[in-house]
Amino acid sequence: MELKGRTCFITGGARRVGRAIALAFAKQGARVLIHYRSSRDEAEKTAADCAQLSGLEGGCFQADQADPVRIQHLAAEVDARFEVDVLVNSASVFNGTPFLETTPEEWDRMLGVNLRGPAFFCQAFAKGMIRRGRGVIINIADVVTETPWIGFLPYCVSKAALVTLTRGLARELAPAVRVNAIGPGTVLLSENDSEEVRRLAERSSLLGRIGSPEDVARACVFLVEGSDYITGVFLPVDGGKSLRRRGLN
């Protein structure tokens, strides 16, 4: 599928990795629609930047993706104006909690945003994709699905389940819709991270460096345009970090 002239909906598209994906799609000539929860100003800025790149007006759509009812309303609003060809589930929450201290509310929030939200976005937009006989879904997971981090178990479980969802949907939505997942490694550090954190991230990669949001964005472009014969895959974009964590030489 060529991105030129297609309509792409990106959850969490206002900032960070989601913004990089949005801009990459727009550079290929796609109409980009941005979902956000609270970053309205940044979402509008990203949407404007995408429209300037592609020449196609998009839009911004607000929802807490932990709320499936709100997702249904948002999808109906989008469907009334556009035909979504590509869905990228990029929005997520990331929190660390020692397992013995994790509350039911923390589990529910992590699974609600990182798993149930993407599932209902897929459900909402896949119906139109199947009706039109074409569509691509990309779920942004994490390489922690390979080796869960200590102190981040709810997050790791939610991302591992997202990969399972991806593989299940690849089977259920075939042949009209292709569904794949990407597992970023360290592609963006927090402003509060120390130089030691940066050096540790660099050492954890086989390539000796951290990546960038654009690395994830280019992988997304490939999964849309590079081949129509790829579905149900989990693609690590981590500089080999997942191999090193398994202890391989």
**Annotation says 155 is catalytic:** yes
Burial class (CB in 10 A: 0-12, 13-18, 19+), 29: middle
Q: What's the whole-number mean pLDDT along residues 126-136?
A: 97
User: What's the rounded mean pLDDT across residues 223-228?
Assistant: 97
Q: Which two tokens stand for residue 223?
A: 């999964």
Residues of 205-240 as b/e, b for ≥16 C-beta within 10 angstroms?
A: beeeebbbbebbbbbbbebbbeeeeebeebbbbbbe
Report the pLDDT averaged over residues 195-205: 84
What is the reported pLDDT for 192?
Answer: 73
Instruction: Report d(CA 138, CA 122) in Å as an integer.
Output: 10
pLDDT per position as a tens digit, 36-48: 999 999 999 999 9
Cα angle 20, 23, 25 (rounded to 5 degrees) comes to 110
Higher pLDDT, 133 or 190: 133
Read off the tokens for 152. Answer: 């981040």
> What 3-state DSSP class applies to 34?
strand
Residue 71 in contact with residue 41, Cβ under 8 Å? no
Mean pLDDT rounded to a whole number for the chain: 94
| In contact, 91 and 11? CB cutoff 8 Å | yes
The pLDDT of residue 97: 85
Using DSSP's 3-state secondary structure scheme, residue 149 falls into: coil
pLDDT at position 247 over 70: no
Give the closest residue to 236 by CA, choosing from 115, 146, 118, 170: 146
Q: 237, 213, 233: which is closest to 18 by C-alpha?
A: 213
Neighbours of 60 (CB within 10 A): 20
Task: Summarize the confidence of residues 132-158 as an average pLDDT.
Answer: 94
Q: What is the pLDDT of residue 242?
A: 82
> Is residue 248's pLDDT more than 50?
no
Q: What is the pLDDT of residue 36?
A: 96
Over residues 218-239, mean pLDDT: 97
What is the pLDDT, as a whole number, of residue 202? 86
At residue 199, the pLDDT reads 87
Work out the pLDDT band at 53, boundaries 50, 70, 90: very high
Place 14 in a pLDDT band, splitting at 50, 70 and 90.
Answer: very high
Contact between 3 and 28 (Cβ < 8 Å): yes
Q: Smallest Cα–Cα separation from 24: which of 90, 93, 120, 114?
A: 90
What span, in angstroms and rounded, lies between the C-alpha atoms of 144 and 84?
A: 30
Catalytic, out of 155, 162, 163, 237:
155
Joined tokens for residue 22: 């949005």
As a whole number, mean pLDDT of residues 225-241 equals: 95
